[in-house]
């Protein structure tokens, strides 16, 4: 049997997998908002590109949380990365905690997905002798706040490891995955936070040339402003803030966070842009495309044959069908009907409508993709734009539902399951 010491170590090491998967009708920045990096915020980019700090990236990214190393998915992921090269490089988001390995889930064996991405990017690199020149993919990764990481040096050391696994001299975008909330000894009064220490670590990584840009994740308006000002004093620009944001996930501080980031010139990256699949229609329509949206939503066959856990399915089913309490009977059917009509009018998919909504707000959606077909469909959102009228119609339908999507099961947009329980943060 494991010793008490070993069990305690595992408890401290157990941190939930990072969240991946953020908008702008941004109001013009008021002159009262001080922004020392303003001259850097007006890059000349193509219609399908935008800026994240010094980077020129596609307006749709690609989340890698579900990537794994096996004979079945390996060739498909290789085709996905090859396609990204040929379409302009791609923008991949990962983290040191991402990986399918069982050890990774218990705080060991970190870096599986980083190593996989590094390998795939290297293998699919176009020959230098090729007449057609392609841009290499942009890769963002994340540092995970942990109880044993209490110094700026720990950030630098983690960055060095990520850099080695990715096989790069300098990481394109290095982010902090979440506020410093994992405090297993909080009940005993041990709950000191090290957010500012981590910010110093980011600045040190930047000044050493280990990273090209720095960002954060799951920071609300207050914390993102504090981080922005802290880094600015050290001559470092905060490039991004990754938060959960979707058509039905604009509440509980997400919209206020987006607005504040817009004023600061901090790019918002949106995870859960599909609200864990709800806004793709796949839990209702893919099994029987002849059904109307309303009747199809009563058929949860697709949901129950998905890869979701039982807890996730139960929560998602409430959004699909409604529970007559917090979610109206009929669930999100009225919104999906509007999205289907808009998709048809634009010769697009419902998924592309969901992504295009986020693009219309000036944020970068980070949908997950494990196949070339999924990646191609996501990138199809770049070929057209929603009209202001269509955006308004969807927002009205979404707001009329009176709901706020905050995740499902143990995958939440405001909390992490960390072995000993759930630790929460707030976008305030």
Residue appearing with tokens 């044959």: 305
- The DSSP-derived string for 196-227 is HHHHHHHHHHHHTTSBS-EEEES--HHHHHHH
- Residue 197: the pLDDT is 97
Q: What is the pLDDT of residues 343-392, one digit of tens each?
A: 999 999 999 999 999 999 999 999 999 999 999 999 999 999 999 999 99
CB 273 within 8 A of CB 369: no
Report, as ranges of residue numbers, the positions in the chain whose pLDDT lies below 70: 1-47, 71-72, 101-109, 126-134, 284-307, 419-421
CA distance 254 to 78: 34
3-state helix, strand, coil in the chain (%, to 5): 40, 15, 50
Which ranges of 65-145 would DSSP assign to H, the alpha helix? 74-86, 102-105, 112-123
CB 217 within 8 A of CB 176: yes
CB 351 within 8 A of CB 369: no
CA distance 153 to 419: 26
- Residue 132: the pLDDT is 56
pTM: 0.83
| Through-space distance between the first and last CA atoms of the chain, rounded to whole angstroms | 44
- Residue 299: the pLDDT is 43
- The DSSP-derived string for 326-385 is SS-TTTTHHHHHHHHHHHHHTT--HHHHHHHHHHHTT-EE--B--SHHHHHHHHGGGG--
Q: What is the pLDDT of residues 237-292, one digit of tens each?
A: 999 999 999 999 998 899 999 999 999 999 999 999 999 999 998 876 444 444 44
């Amino acid at each position: 049997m494991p010793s008490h010491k070993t069990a305690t170590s595992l408890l401290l090491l157990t941190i939930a997998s990072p969240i991946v998967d953020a908008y702008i009708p941004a109001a013009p920045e008021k002159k009262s908002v001080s922004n020392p990096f303003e001259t850097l915020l007006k890059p000349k980019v193509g219609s399908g590109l935008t800026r994240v700090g010094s980077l020129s990236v596609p307006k749709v990214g690609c989340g890698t949380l579900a990537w794994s190393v096996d004979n079945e998915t390996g060739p498909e992921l290789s085709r996905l990365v090859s396609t990204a090269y040929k379409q302009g490089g791609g923008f991949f988001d990962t983290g040191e905690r991402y990986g399918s390995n069982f050890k990774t889930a218990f705080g060991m064996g970190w870096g599986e997905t980083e190593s996989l991405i590094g390998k795939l990017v290297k293998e699919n690199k176009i020959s230098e002798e090729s007449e057609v020149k392609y841009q290499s993919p942009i890769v963002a990764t994340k540092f995970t706040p942990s109880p044993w990481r209490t110094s700026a040096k720990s950030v630098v050391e983690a960055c060095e490891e990520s850099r080695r696994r990715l096989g790069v001299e300098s990481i394109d975008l290095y982010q902090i995955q979440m506020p410093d909330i994992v405090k297993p000894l909080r009940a005993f009064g041990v709950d000191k936070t090290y957010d500012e220490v981590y910010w110093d670590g980011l600045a040190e990584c930047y000044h050493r040339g280990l990273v090209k840009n720095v960002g954060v994740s799951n920071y609300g308006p207050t914390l993102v402003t504090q981080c922005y000002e802290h880094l600015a004093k050290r001559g470092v620009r905060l490039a991004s803030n990754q938060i959960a944001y979707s058509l039905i996930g604009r509440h509980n501080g997400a919209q206020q966070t987006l607005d504040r980031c817009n004023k600061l010139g901090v790019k918002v990256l949106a995870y859960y842009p599909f609200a864990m699949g709800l806004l793709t229609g796949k839990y209702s329509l893919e099994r029987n495309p002849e059904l109307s949206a309303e009747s199809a939503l009563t058929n949860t066959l697709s949901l129950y044959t998905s890869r979701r856990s039982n807890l996730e399915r139960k929560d998602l089913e409430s959004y699909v069908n409604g529970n007559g309490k917090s979610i109206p009977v009929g669930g999100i059917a009225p919104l999906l009907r509007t999205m289907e009509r808009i998709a048809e009018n634009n010769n697009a998919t419902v998924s592309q409508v969901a992504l295009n909504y986020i693009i219309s707000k000036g944020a970068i959606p980070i949908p997950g993709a494990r196949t070339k077909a999924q990646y191609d469909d996501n990138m199809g959102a770049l070929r057209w734009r929603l009209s202001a009228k269509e955006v308004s119609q969807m927002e009205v339908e979404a707001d009329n539902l009176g709901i706020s999507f905050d995740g499902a099961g143990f995958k939440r947009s405001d909390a992490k399951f960390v072995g000993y329980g759930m630790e929460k943060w707030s976008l305030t």
